[in-house]
Amino acid sequence: MTNPIKKIQVDAPTLQHYIDHLATIGWQPEGGIVRPVYSPAWLKARQQLAEWMRAAGLHVYEDAVGNLFGRLRGLDDTRTILTGSHLDTVKLGGKFDGALGILAGLVALQALHKHLGPPQRSLEVVALCEEENSRFHARYWGTRAILGLIEESQLEALRDEQNISIASAMRAAGLPPDQYRAPIRTDLDAFLELHIEQGRILFDEHIDIGIVQAITGLQHLLITVKGRADHAGTTPMDLRRDALQGAALMAVEITRLVQQEGRPAVVTLGQWDVRPGAVNVVPAEVRFSIDLRHPDAETLQRLSVAIQARCQAIAQERDLQLSSEITGQSAPQQMDPALQALLIRAAGACGATWKAMPSGAGHDSQTMARHLPTAMLFVPSIEGRSHSAAEETPLADAARGATVLATALSQLVYP
């Protein structure tokens, strides 16, 4: 028979103080936070986190790429359970995405230390760097450093909009890029990440906690449609090879195919480039992006094939040329079943309602889970808002999630 779990309550006012104060670092007059990796705002936020970690009695240190850790030493200090999330934000992002996972981990460790004393295994809360891809195309940079997945060539190849390499940005932040392999960890036994849902399922269904089963896979494609430029006034409609009209029909059909598949399949056609782009010229070429996501690999691939086949058929019907290029992809990733079960038990011990669900967004956990047992729990986002200044999660929901996290961690390090 499974032993009952004791609820570990976090301090909600402390969590609220952390959330409100951290949100001021990088906050813009027009609303929203700008806190890209290695920026002055990012460094200031990291300094503030370090102060809070020290005040909580944690051993604080950083690694060579800028991940910040607060360690609650265990009686066996050779093995570690890790929790946390990312500190960087998208441009004009909200105060909960990433940051809440760090702050929830911090108050969880505070509560565990206060109520249960030193753990059997060490516990760490981490502020990971560059999850959002908002400055460099270096997504999960901090996590990949921990797992030994950074390649030396990336240090100079990865550049921001000002053509500053990630190595140069690291040096400017006081970090040694030549030590990029130093952060590799071999002592980690598990990773647990709390995050806002960034969708509206929990909000709409009035559910307290989401237990993530799998993180979605995604495929990014660039579609190029070529027709012929002609005079907008003298070329009859039935004689045109209008690339935009063909691409527009493709967009409608792509949306129809994914809607027909149903939840959790989603597609976004967010970037468009029309050439020559003149008001009085029939468009000769259109390029548009496809962001296709599904947590099941077979379904993702089937939808991709169907989309490309339908686009090709439309191109042939309209005497257009079509090419497609996969510009990025990541496979779906299942979360650890045993840790999912633990989170469910912890939610029950805390009196929280829960729902098993996929994640439609990518997270550091997606990469962690390929190398060590990993689990995620979601707390609600009001109206599903995220990646904007309107992002909001009530304190009661945030503190409940942190309490579930602390309760689950207690079972891993206080046997």
pLDDT digits (tens, 9 = 90+) for 371-401: 999 999 999 999 999 999 999 999 999 999 9
Please identify every stretch of the chain with a pLDDT value under 50, giving residue numbers as ranges: 1
CATH assignment of 217-330?
3.30.70.360
Give the start-to-end residue ranges of the domains of the chain: 12-215+332-413, 217-330
Model pLDDT, residue 3: 65
Both tokens assigned to 243:
């690339």
Main-chain phi, psi angles of 158, to 5 degrees = -80, 115
Calculated CA dihedral for residues 129, 131, 135, 137, nearest 10 degrees: 120
* Tokens at 84, concatenated: 């946390």
- Report pLDDT for 1: 39
Q: How far apart are CA 287 and CA 226, in angstroms?
A: 9
Closest CA to 288 of 255, 260, 257, 316: 255
SS (H, E, C) the chain: CCCCCCCCCCCHHHHHHHHHHHHCCCECCCCCECCCCCCHHHHHHHHHHHHHHHHCCCEEEECCCCCEEEEECCCEEEEEEEEEEECCCCCCECCCCCHHHHHHHHHHHHHHHHHHCCCCEEEEEEEECCCCCCCCCCCCHHHHHHCCCCCCCHHHHCECCCCCEHHHHHHHCCCCHHHCCCCCCCCEEEEEEEEECCCCHHHHHCCCEEEEEEECEEEEEEEEEECCCCECCCCCHHHCCCHHHHHHHHHHHHHHHHHHHCCCCEEECCCEEEECCCCCECCCEEEEEEEEEECCHHHHHHHHHHHHHHHHHHHHHCCCEEEEEEEEEECCEECCHHHHHHHHHHHHHCCCCEEEEEECCCCHHHHHCCCCCEEEEEECCHHHCCCCCCCCCCHHHHHHHHHHHHHHHHHHHCC
| pLDDT in the model for residue 134 | 85
Looking up tokens 């932040």 gives 173
Length of the chain: 415
pLDDT digits (tens, 9 = 90+) for 168-223: 999 999 999 999 999 999 999 999 999 999 999 999 999 999 999 999 999 999 99
The pLDDT value recorded for residue 4 is 80
**pTM for this prediction:** 0.91
322-325: long-range contacts, CB 8 A cutoff, minimum separation 24:
322/223, 322/224, 322/225, 322/226, 323/223, 323/224, 324/221, 324/222, 324/223, 324/224, 325/221, 325/222, 325/224
- Domain 12-215+332-413 carries which CATH code? 3.40.630.10
Q: At what angle do helices 40-55 and 12-23 cross, to 10 degrees?
A: 160
pLDDT at 78: 97
Partner residues linked to 70 by β-bridges: 60, 125
Contact 231, 265 (CB under 8 A): no
Q: What is the dihedral of CA 211, 413, 7, 104, to 10 degrees?
A: -60
d(CA 311, CA 177): 44
- Output the pLDDT for position 2: 56
